[in-house]
Structure formats: C-alpha cells, structure tokens
Amino acid sequence: MQRLAISSRTNNINSAVYNMRQSGATLQQIAAKIGKTKERVRQILVQNYGSTRHQLISTEQLCRLSGLPRNRIIELYQDSVVIPAVEWNIGIRHYLLWSPATWGQVISYYKRHRLCKICHRPVPKGRRTFCSEQCCKEGHKYRYRSPEARKRHRISMRNRKRSRKS
C-alpha cells in the first residue's frame, strides 16, 4: 500500500515537472517550485520523457517557419491576432515563446488578410493592397483587370476614338 502511494506521488511530480516545462518554465523555476535541484529536474525529464526540451518555439523560430520578418510577428501580437504561450521581461528585453499552433494561425491569417495581389508577400501597415510601389504599378496593368473592367475600358476607348473623329 505504501509503495503504491510513493509511486503515485512520483508520477504526480513527474507529470507536474513535464507540464511546467511544456508551458515554458526553466529548469531552475521548476526546481524552485518542487524543492529539488535543477540537475534532478533535468534527470526526471530525460528519464521519463527522453528530453529536457519543451514544445514551445521562440519568435525567431516562428519567423523562420512563417517566412515573415520579426516586426510582422510583433504587429500580429500587438493586434491580438496571436497570443504567446509565455512572455517575460529581463531588464529592457521582452521575450516571447509561442505554441507550435501559432505558426498555423499566422499562416492562415496571412492567407486571408494582407497579402499583396501581385507577389503574395505581406502588405505593410501603411498600404492597402500592394506591398510596394513596383507591385502597385504592375497591378494596375491591363492584364490584371477583371473582365468587367476590361469591358468598361474597351467602351471608353471606343467613345474616345469617336469623339476625336468628330
């Protein structure tokens, strides 16, 4: 009976250590919470789960995965499109850790919103439909017009030709 109680307590500690690590806590923070050393926490994680790594990704990794610059990710964070799993400040620095699902949220957001109609890159904040002046010029070319716009253009050109003849 006593052996069962010790085993279940150990399992509870192991799962608590794992859950804290997955939520982004450092080994030192976990050790302070459960009253063990940092080395013992590392051993528990390696012994039971094979690794001390957590599933969260850094902002730089999120940038690499999504193909977006860091300032775009921070804009999405400030606009509350994506929410970090963990954030903390050290001095003047602000750190964010993201869940792997955040990458999917960023990609789906940019599939629905704010993509340049020509090159399909993210549109900067100050622009509406095109990412640059070059894409804007390209986008206003005749070949990118809708069939209705082409028809209106043909009619207006016919009318101009008629007015010049008379």
Domain with CATH 1.10.1660 in the chain: 57-139
Q: Residue 5: pLDDT above 60? A: no
DSSP type of residue 114 = S
Tokens representing residue 88 in the block: 């903390």
Distance CA 108, CA 113 (A): 8
The overall longest dimension of the chain from CA atoms, in Å, is: 108
Domain with CATH 1.10.10 in the chain: 2-49
The model's pTM: 0.47
Domain 57-139 class, CATH top level = mainly alpha
- State pLDDT tens for residues 93-141: 778 888 888 888 888 887 777 778 788 787 887 777 788 889 888 888 8
- State pLDDT tens for residues 67-89: 888 888 888 888 888 988 878 77
Helix, strand, or coil here: 57? strand
Average pLDDT over residues 18-47: 84
Task: Provide the CATH topology of domain 2-49.
Answer: Arc Repressor Mutant, subunit A (1.10.10)
